[in-house]
Structure 1
Amino acid sequence: MEILILALVIAVVVLGVLGGLVVGSRRKKPLPPAPPTTPDITAPPAEPHVGDEAETPREEPRRTIEEVDLPDATATAPVAVEEPPAAPAIEIPEPTAGRLVRLRARLSRSQNALGKGLLTLLAREHLDDDTWEEIEDTLLTADVGVQPTQELVEQLRARVKVLGTRTPAELRGLLREELLKILVPEFDRAVKTDSPLDTPGIVMVVGVNGTGKTTTTGKLARVLVADGKNVVLGAADTFRAAAADQLQTWGERVGARTVRGPEGGDPASIAFDAVKEGIEEGADVVLIDTAGRLHTKTGLMDELGKVKRVVEKHAPLDEILLVLDATTGQNGLVQARVFAEVVDITGIVLTKLDGTAKGGIVIAVQRELGVPVKLVGLGEGADDLAPFEPEAFVDALIGE
């Protein structure tokens, strides 16, 4: 028993010695070299540990609460103000006097076929019945109309018979005289914008979809501004999307204000407001653009009559202009008849006259309605709407 106890004591002593040797060997393991005393400028700055606080240098005096400027609780942060878009530059329209003469080259390119065709036929040595029939066909093809064509041919036949010899200059002069006569040069072609009352002149523009009516209204505003008028526009075409935007853009270019309403609103109400505001502002002219009524829709045509009646509660209309597309030819006469039944057309605007060789529509529509062509459109440019001048038109028709 004593021997067993002694063995256990010896074993414990041996284990203790061995443990001390192991611990000692670990403590004697060499430590890594100390960092250099010169700071490494390429090393990133040491980040503060969690809980570290920046210390105020002792030489800096501490400020009291009275010395610290606290933010004003009532002050509000500055709010960025969005600047409104710059107003478009006001354009100065081209003068209207002599505008058709300046655009004559554009007109003659499309109309010369008619004039040259007639001169060629008239210059034949023998003007027999077949030749006169060809002359008649040429005029009918140019949309002059049956009755005006017959009258023109009869006059030409009588004068050629009396004239006898026919030089090119004589023939051109003869044709010019007869065309001018049938165009009724004594018509008053001025757009009426001077009201006999103490109100602005009121002009209403009507026409079928696709004739360029809203564009023509915008160009007419330019014509009036070029003549020194102060214009207010009424965007009463509420059925065509963006028609009011289109008209307003035209107005802004020349400084004319546009009175408009919601899309699909009552056109008569907008026309009424436009005239009212024109009176209040002392405008010279109120120009009302109406919706492009299809002449086959009786209800819409009746509404056009309503617009006219509502506007006349302020003052009588001074001008009702019918816009027709010259390229539609005789179909334009059908439209003209229906519009004339609803409102009293006082003048005609023929658009796209530069794009058709059927210039005879000028003669036909005047004869149909008994009212003059007052303005003609000769291109896409802003100042390509010109007062109609019969002499310049005929000169472009038959050439120099």
Structure 2
Amino acid sequence: MPQNKKCEQCHAHKALTKFKPRKFDTSRGKKGEPLGICATCAEKKAARKRKARALEVDSEAATEDAHNRHAYTDLGEKQLADLLDLLTELTEPLHVQARVDVSQIAAQNQDQRKHKEKIPRGIKPRDSRRGERFACGGWLHLVLSDKTDIIELRLSHGQAHLPYVDILLPEEWRAYIAANARDHMAGQIWRHIVRVEDERRRETSKSPIPFRAKAVYYHWLLACRKDWKLHPNPVVSAQRFLEQHGDQYHLKLINLEGEPGTEAVAFYVEDFVQGWAAHTQELAMDSTWNTNGGNFELFATIADANGSGVPLAFMFIRTSDGATMGAKQRMLERFLTALRDLGIQPEFTLTDKDWSEINAMRAVWPKAKHQLCFWHALHALKQRLCKNKDTPAPYDAVAAKEEFPFIDVEFVPKAQQENPLSPQEG
């Protein structure tokens, strides 16, 4: 067993007798084993801690003496709300004492919980800006008793705080949003507010706008939601909206027979279908994913019109774990069948490589020639060619020639030119 040990503090090699034993087990050693630093370094470390603690005690005592020397302004007895309003208006260093009546707090909190409007997930009613923080040298002293509802309060601020800024949306702009929400988007309303507030600031030297665009969007959403949220279930809400307001927007609801484990709502654009259904030669269908909070897929059908796309119909669909195999494809077939019954008879159909879309197109229009979307094909090709680390399967020129007669059988990829694959090996 070694008789010497290196101190981790002074890095000197000393006898084991110069190291104090551990008093209990730790992650660095067991009880009775020598410490990592020698006794001399351990004593110096303890002395530094004692000195630092003494300085802290002296500082605390000096601060308390300074507080005790202040002349406190007696605010008398006040309600808590009145006291808070008063304190928010003060920006200079202050030293006040008061007797606060808190008897109404419990009743007020209970009343707020009863009437508080539920806020949708992900939406905040106002901006939450974090205030500036700094060592103000202040303190708060409270004396409470179970015999009375009066709290003795003493408050001291050694430095002036920044003045409180109300970031709630002013009532003027709330009324403006409520009156214009149905005719203007939230961004348009926000730009109008910024323009007006900037003009006022130039004329009166006001401070910058304290509220933000999120507050405007929130109140715009509240005003609009009454028109389009007609039921807690999004599918039922959409169906009711189309039944009540579809004529206004030239939209017609498509009645679809449901499938177990699926929720769907579909509609078509009446003007576009009436004007272009008989002229549709190419019909494309694609879907979006993860674009809404309800996890609905949105399928859109678009007709080609002289090189431009004409949106004909849309379907929102959501499947659950209880959906049977092929449920989404059957819903797509019913959706496309409704379009066929409206007079849409394309010669060509286009989708990406989603087999539910491909099979639904083939089932509804078996005589139409189905093609993969050119953009999706190029995108898939670029992705595949970018994968340099994946080794592709050997190229069989004979098999390729049999499937595509225009291919030159003499062509062989460079990587296989030294060891070409023969038909027998394929």
Shorter-chain TM-score: what band? under 0.3
Name the structure with the higher strand share. Answer: 2
Higher relative contact order (CA 8 A, sep 6+): 1
- Larger Cα Rg: Structure 1 or Structure 2? 1
